Structure 1
Amino acid sequence: MIRKGLAGLLAPIAILLTTGVPGASAQDAAPGPTHPGPVYATVTDTSGKLSLQTFGRPDGKDMVFRISGSVYANIEGNSLDPAMRHGQKLFNIEGYNIRKLYRVPGTNQLYQLSREIVFYTDPADPRRVLREWKNPIDGRTYPVVPINNDTVNFGPFTITSAYAGPPLQQLHEETVWTSDIPVRTNFATTLGEGFGLAGGVYAAQEMFDFSVDRREVEDRTGPGVPEGAMQTKISWARTSPWVPFMCLPETDVRGQLTYHARSWSLDSYSQVEPWLRAEVEAGYPLYKSTPAAPGASENSWTSFYNKQLGKGATTWAGWCAANGRA
């Protein structure tokens, strides 16, 4: 899928952009060094164009994937009942990932740069952000730490006319494709912190279904550089260990979490609902925009390590002992 070389890129792109190609705009006539448009415009494969447009807007501006869903307890043999039963809805989740395509200056390589903020909310009221959660196993109440990953980056992807995306499937009027990602990370080795995980290893499964309407596919896969965000719907499911703020050691408390959520594209942060923007602006204003350049990525566990544990200044067990309220 990834190939080398981009001989003679800028000259043909300049010709395309100045001859009224659909989707091109005046600002694309003189793209900046990190603008993805000239590189994106070389892609000919429909799937390649669609997948790149889920990474970010080809016009280089920020876009948002709004996320809304629920989190359930997945407990082998229902072994924690009645304190916590298998299938119990523990949280709603509400938030977004804000992202953009970024070109490495002077190259044909693209990154997806993003930040994501997702709040755990009341299981009966998705708009009521939870500040604390009572652990039914130990009876203690802990602060709720949202998913706040700064940053979440992918790449670089080398882009040529041969760049191709995943296999596509046509379901009625929708073009769909999937991305299933098994995740295994030994935090005991990489961070020196095991989080109560079996062997200190984080093991999860991330599963995505992408869906784009046939008319949107037709409108956005022609020549040139489309403006705005492609109208995309995503179904997301994740199985993962108990998150760190729950203070449930996987080694002692058998079970895991199942996330089931929907996501949909928005043109910009301004289209996020006012109640959610207010929450972000009150406590997490960094997440109003994307990173300026590539950098190290976080997930829920490394973010917790960096921000709650002070990058190892305290341990996960120490944090739980200090923050749990009887």
Structure 2
Amino acid sequence: MSMVLAGLVAVAAGPGAEAAGEAGDPARPGPVFRTVTDKSALLSLQTFGRPDGRDMVFRISGSVYTDIPGNAQQPRLSHGRKLFNIEGYNIRRLYRVPGTTQLYQLSREIVFYTDPADPTQIVREWANPIDGRTYPVVPINNDTVNFGPFDVTPSFQGPPLRQLHDETVWSSDIPVRVDYGAALGETFGLVNGVYTAQEMFDFSVDDREVRARTVPGTVPPGAMRTKISWARTSPWAPFMCLAESAVPGRLNYHARAWSLPSYRHLEPWLRAEVEARYPLYTAAPPSPGPSQNSWTSFHAKQLRGGATTWTDWCAASGKTS
């Protein structure tokens, strides 16, 4: 989930200007913000997207480590080894179903695996130390990642908040279990064909920002200055061609994210890579639709929706040194 942010904003846009914008765009989410009174709800909604409905970004930066019970793959692949840095972003917007109080979060996310010693150096190939073959590295490229609808009425409530020094914080811990063998007809080498993971998020917002952006009856402007800590424990990534059922172990992702007002606030090196290879990820989706994650994205793009199998992809894609 970074970078230079615009200064703190202390006032909301005038009601006349906002109303004119809403009349021109019935999907604009602003009207529902005026009705919400719960502080936590106002804060959490602003992590989903900007109240004006324009694109915002969560810049993501972190690392990926091996998690191998009993260090059982030593010496070829040791426990706690840093395999990659990760650098990328989620670009998102809030969408209101016209004429309703229902909101969707619409997003796309692109995250590159980069060199463990140089976060700006994108890794194109990975040498698998277990089978001795080299595989193309497939970035996290999920089109789309959507949530909702949320019915944002005046009684809408957010998560429990805590005060830590001069920041307001909250958490979201998500256990994930998906039977890909049943859902996709593809096991990816997972134990019983079932994907299990744990996603853990911590959000924090400076108290000055909280006060400026939780005034009842107003529509906060722009993107809220937010920091996120993210951790995920999950199976080997599909491109690594390591079957969890045969090579016990997992990956630990540990990253931080921070909000940016728009795509243009990303670093030039990251924008250059996206525009050259993944131009779809320069904007959030325009309307609701189905979601992807790293595994369903790999199935759709690399396995062509099941036209080939994960085992066959690995056999065809791996190179022997």
Structures share a fold, TM > 0.5? Answer: yes
In 1, Cα distance between the equivalents of 2:33 and 2:165? 28
Give the deviation of 1:22 after TM superposition.
3.9
Contact 2:110/2:281, CA 8 A, preserved across alignment: yes
* Unmatched runs of 5 consecutive residues or more in structure 1: 1-20
Aligned to 1:74: 67
| 1:265 CA drift (Å) | 0.2
State the partner residue of 2:49. 56
User: Which of 229, 234, 250 is the matching residue for 1:235?
Assistant: 229
**Residue 24 of structure 1 is aligned with which of 13, 18, 36?**
13
**How does the TM-score come out when normalised to structure 2?**
0.94
1:320 paired to 2:314: yes
Equivalent residues in 2 for 1:223-302 (5 A)? 223-302=217-296
Superposition deviation, residue 27 in structure 1: 4.3
Superposed CA deviations along residues 74-98 of structure 1, whole A, max 9, x for unmatched, are 0000000111110000000000000
In 1, the alpha carbon distance for the partners of 2:33 and 2:211 equals 17
User: Looking at both structures, which has the greater relative contact order when contacts are Cα pairs under 8 Å and sequence separation is at least 6?
Assistant: 2
2:69 and 2:249 in contact (8 A); partners too: yes
Structure 2: state its 5+ residue gaps: 1-9
- Measured against aligned partners, the alpha-carbon deviations of 1:99-135 in whole angstroms (never above 9, x if no partner) come to 0110011211000000000000011110000000000
TM-score normalised over the length of structure 1: 0.93
| Native 8 Å contact 2:11 2:212 kept in 1 | no
Cα distance in 1 between the residues matched to 2:179 and 2:139: 22
- From 295, 305, 316, give the equivalent of 1:311: 305
The superposition leaves residues 229-268 of structure 1 with CA deviations (integer Å, 9 ceiling, x where unpaired) of: 1000000000000010000000000000000000000000
- The partner residue of 1:89 within 66, 69, 82 is 82
Deviation per residue, 1:196-219 (Å, 9 max, x gap): 001111100000000000000001
Is residue 99 from structure 1 mapped to residue 89 from structure 2 by the alignment?
no
Distance 1:181 1:175 in 2: 21
What's 1:148 paired with? Answer: 141
Contact 2:67–2:80 (Cα < 8 Å) also in 1? yes
Report how many residues are paired. 306
* Structure 1 counterpart of 2:4: none
Could you say what the CA RMSD is over the residues aligned between the two structures, in angstroms?
Answer: 1.0
